[in-house]
Structure 1
């Protein structure tokens, strides 16, 4: 009787095991779960890419013109699959470019594997799958619904958005163009007002006084709800920058005062900066632009700013010197004053006077060198500049894709750790298996 019950238990256990395996197989066809155990989750999408995908409310169609021979199609499919896991309505189809060469020439397909991405009537091309950055940037441009027009005031010695001189911003704007922004010149000697459909106006460090008509055009633009970025520079002692260049009406419209003199901060000596006028920041006031931003940025020759009372703007500082900050106007008396944190970057927002949008945004920064060709590569200057432009354009899902390497490809062990692993696999594990096997044989013989 006992032997029959034991056999029955064995058959029942086998039947339950088969049922469990069948149920697991059935559930695996209906539900999927993917776990990424790599260091930093490098095998899955970053949170920035997920934020961009969340803004795409409709299906995305991707067409890859890849040769069926070789492993290129498999590589592309694996790359796109990471995006499909987050957004299932991304479709991917392959076209053999050799079947219709004339059609490929008409489409401008010149690279094997080139992607055409379609979303809501807009199209982006992509031929770089080395990382998720280019793909996410292409999706971000599609989410924006087209190019954003950024007008740079020109004609008064401003920094050029397409220039290659040290003080120009050509390198930075080239990178922004890859993210769906287009820089256009705005010369008030040729036009009397900011053109319609301008998403952002940039006044980048003018060196000559602006004509009264140009200043009034900027004031009217701000009054009517336009977004503005004003990069100021410190001037010699005597008169504030706004008065010196005829920009006082614009400063009053924004509720910001540009203080005379050059900001000085001796705390930069801890980072090896001998010049106290070179401001290095690693800590930032809490604001949407700098939320979660921890990179060090470098600002040469900075003008301090201060808010003007009575403005209807909500003014929040996001760039501030260290506790040893002071304003250097060339007077010896200034060096005897105790240092204090001084702001040189303000983010402004208010209800928009324009019926086309709900909120108006502006930013005033006491330095434009940090985005110039000379200083753009210092620390987080480029990343901070991208955040400023994204915020001013209303793209609060800021995209900052740091390169994610593969630090888990190499396992570094000390000699003691290596000996412990070797002993475990060569001695401990075999002995453990022998002990378990002996225990099972002993139990069966007792029956």
Structure 2
């Protein structure tokens, strides 16, 4: 069919309208992209978005966060882009919390200010929240900055007291059975420690946030036990970790709490499928409690004991079961010999799942009182602390006991190192140059040429 002048004008109008509409859509998308941000992370290590723990911390922080960066100006010619990299890093936080501001100060131009604020490193950042400040130095990672925000958010500055001198697992110890790694994590989140000498003091200090009793190996003396009982009777919080059913001189405290610990230990033969022994048990089911709310990580325990606490009307304790282990295992009886402990006997053994931890609370004064008892101290030891969610659960317990309920969350994990290392020889440089320019020039030019060829063929048809 022969094209007349009217048909050509119609085609011209249609093409012109399409081009105008196309550029209008591009302009609209550009405007909307400046107003709204949507990020979908496709990386293996989730480098473009924050972890759930960091997001929950930001949601709990009411008030602006101000960041002042003391860094020299970037020199792109020398490959120095520190400021740009930091802006991209902080942008992940700003997407979740809009009132985060960041400003830069060149330390070479403000030497007096640098001296007054104690700046020692190029790139050092002062973070301010609720009139509290902390410094952080490069290199930056999400875990370090989020831990800093946790410390700034903490409302309870009372120290964590721990019982010592009876063979307990030490919060500062370095041995496998000690809790030193857990203690370091608590320190990184703003907690401080106190080790009161109950043989010399008249009472357990009341200015502490809680008292940690980590599985004494020898009996606590009667005067010390009496002071601990009085501390709990007066509203003190405790974290009691038990590796056996022997209360080691704290029987009156256990009676006051209505606490019962099984003589036998948890046996779970299904752990053999994971390459562990039958004395290792795992938990994926947790009680309905603020400590375990939305907690879905697997935790691991060794030779755990069953825990039961009876809330009493006189003391007013509200009791919540926390951790269930060994759904396919059982609680073996101490009446059985070692050879028969690996065989379930309904006459002696209790079928799983077994509860191995309780949380207790009651109204006391204006603040209230909280207690957590776990039938296993090893799960927070240096040996087991990196297993699954053991660290997260331990931190949740301490946060709840200290009254910082808003900080109970899954802790952010460090990002994996997935950087690509390019060989420094000529072949490596050639491959890197080809890949880089393939996406920068060759593919775009090729697609443009292909589009032009298709357009030209259709025009000729």
TM-score normalised over the length of structure 1: 0.80
- Which residue in the other structure is 1:196 paired with? 206
Matched residue, 2:39: 35
Contact 2:179 2:381 survives alignment (8 Å): yes
- The answer to whether residue 326 in structure 2 is matched with residue 321 in structure 1 is yes
1:416 is matched with which residue? none
Aligned 1:27-106 pairs, distance under 5 A: 31-39=35-43, 41-69=46-74, 70-101=80-111, 103-106=113-116
Instruction: Say whether the 8 Å CA contact 1:146–1:180 is kept in structure 2.
Output: no
Shift of 1:216: 3.4
Q: May I ask how many residue pairs the two structures share in their alignment?
A: 417
Alignment partners' CA distance in 2, 1:175 and 1:336:
39
Distance 1:439 1:204, change over 3 A: same
> Which structure 2 residues correspond to residues 4-403 of structure 1 after superposition, within 5 A?
6=10, 31-39=35-43, 41-69=46-74, 70-101=80-111, 103-145=113-155, 147-234=157-244, 240-242=245-247, 245-274=248-277, 276=278, 278-288=279-289, 289-308=291-310, 310=312, 312-329=317-334, 331-332=336-337, 337-338=345-346, 339=349, 340-341=351-352, 343-355=354-366, 357=367, 360-393=369-402, 394-396=404-406, 397-403=408-414
CA distance in 2 between counterparts of 1:66 and 1:218 reads 51
Secondary structure of 1:241's partner? coil
Residue 38 of structure 1 aligns to a residue in which SS? coil
User: Tell me, which stretches of 5 or more residues in structure 2 are unaligned?
Assistant: 75-79, 422-442
What is the alpha-carbon distance in structure 2 between the residues aligned to residue 49 and residue 298 of structure 1? 24
**Structure 1 unaligned blocks of 5 or more:** 235-239, 411-423, 443-447
CA distance in 1, matches of 2:131, 2:116: 19
What CA deviation, in whole Å up to 9, does each residue of 1:208-254 have, x standing for no partner?
Answer: 222334333333333343322100121xxxxx413xx2222222332
TM-score, length basis structure 2? 0.78
**Which segment is superposed worse, 178-187 or 308-317?**
308-317
Structure 1 residues 103 and 249: CA distance shift in structure 2, 3 A:
same
How far does residue 204 in structure 1 lie from its aligned partner after superposition? 0.8
Offset of residue 395 of structure 1 = 2.9
Looking at structure 2, the residues matched to 292 and 409 of structure 1 have their Cα atoms a distance apart, in angstroms, of: 35
Give per-residue Cα distances to partners, 1:267-321, cap 9 Å, x unaligned: 32222234x3x32304233444445545444323333222336463222131423
Change (3 A) 1:399 1:129: farther
Question: Runs of 4 or more off by more than 6 Å in structure 1?
Answer: 406-410, 427-433
